[in-house]
Amino acid sequence: MQAISSLLWFSLFCLINNINAGPKIPNEERDPEFWRSKAKEDLKLTLGKKEINSVAKNVIMFLGDGMGVATVTAARIYKGQLNGQPGEETVLSFEEFPNLGLAKTYNVDRQTPDSAGTATAYLCGVKGNYATLGVSPNVPRKDCIAQKGREVTSILDWSKAAGKSVGIVTTSRVTHASPAALYAHSAERDWEGDTDMEGVDGECKDIAYQLIYDNSNIEVILGGGRRYLMLKNQTDPETGKIDLNKQRKDGRDLIKAWAEDKEARNKFHTYVWNKQQFDNVDPRNTDYLLGLFEPSHMQYELERDKSGNGEPSIAEMTQKAIQILQKNEKGFFLFVEGARIDHAHHDTLPKKALDEVVAMDAAVQMAMKMTNEMDTLMVVTADHSHVFNIAGYPYRGNNILGLVDPNPAEYGPADGLPYTTLIYGNGPNYNYGNRTNLTDVDTTHKDFVFFSAVPMADETHGAEEVAIYARGPMAHLFQRTHEQNYIPHVMAYASCVGEYATDCDRPVRSVASGHVSMISVIFMCILCVI
- Do the domain assignments include residue 5? no
Tell me how far CA of residue 84 lies from CA of 273, 283, 399, in angstroms: 36, 37, 11
Residue 461 assigned as binding residue: yes
Distance CA 229, CA 244 (A): 13
Q: Whose CA is closest to 378, among 484, 482, 509, 474?
A: 474
**Strand order, beta sheet including 332-338:** 269-272, 288-292, 220-224, 165-173, 332-338, 58-64, 376-382, 466-471, 99-104, 481-483
Residue 503 assigned as binding residue: no
- Do the domain assignments include residue 22? no
Residue range(s) defining the domain that contains residue 285: 58-387+460-506
| pLDDT of amino acid 412 | 80
Report the catalytic residues. Answer: 115
For residue 459, the number of C-alpha atoms closer than 13 Å in the C-beta half-sphere is 32
CATH number at residue 303: 3.40.720.10
Distance CA 85, CA 80 (A): 5
| pLDDT of amino acid 518 | 39
- Do the domain assignments include residue 447? no
Residue 261 assigned as binding residue: no
Tell me how far CA of residue 360 lies from CA of 256, 344, 355, 396, in angstroms: 31, 14, 9, 25
- Do the domain assignments include residue 292? yes
- Do the domain assignments include residue 107? yes
Mind listing the pLDDT tens digit of every residue in the chain (530 residues)? 444 444 444 444 444 444 444 457 889 999 999 999 999 999 999 999 999 999 999 999 999 999 999 999 999 999 999 999 999 999 999 999 999 999 999 999 999 999 999 999 999 999 999 999 999 999 999 999 999 999 999 999 999 999 999 999 999 999 999 999 999 999 999 999 999 999 999 999 999 999 999 999 999 999 999 999 999 999 999 999 999 999 999 999 999 999 999 999 999 999 999 999 999 999 999 999 999 999 999 999 999 999 999 999 999 999 999 999 999 999 999 999 999 999 999 999 999 999 999 999 999 999 999 999 999 999 999 999 999 999 999 999 999 999 998 665 677 888 889 999 999 999 999 988 788 999 999 999 999 999 999 999 999 999 999 999 999 999 999 999 999 999 999 999 999 999 999 978 887 775 653 444 434 433 333 433 33
| pLDDT of amino acid 9 | 47
Beta strand spans in 256-409 (E): 269-272, 288-292, 332-338, 376-382, 385-386, 388-390
Distance CA 308, CA 468 (A): 36
- Do the domain assignments include residue 445? no
Residue 185 assigned as binding residue: no
Give me the amino acid identity at 319.
Q
Distance CA 140, CA 133 (A): 11
Domain count, the chain: 1
Distance CA 300, CA 347 (A): 13
Residue 384 assigned as binding residue: yes
- Do the domain assignments include residue 454? no
pTM over 0.85: yes
Report the Cα 10 to chain-centroid distance in Å. 38
Rg (CA), the chain: 25
Residue 386 assigned as binding residue: no
Q: Are 167 and 220 in contact (CB under 8 A)?
A: yes
Distance CA 218, CA 370 (A): 21
- Do the domain assignments include residue 323? yes
| pLDDT of amino acid 32 | 95
Residue 342 assigned as binding residue: yes
| pLDDT of amino acid 506 | 83
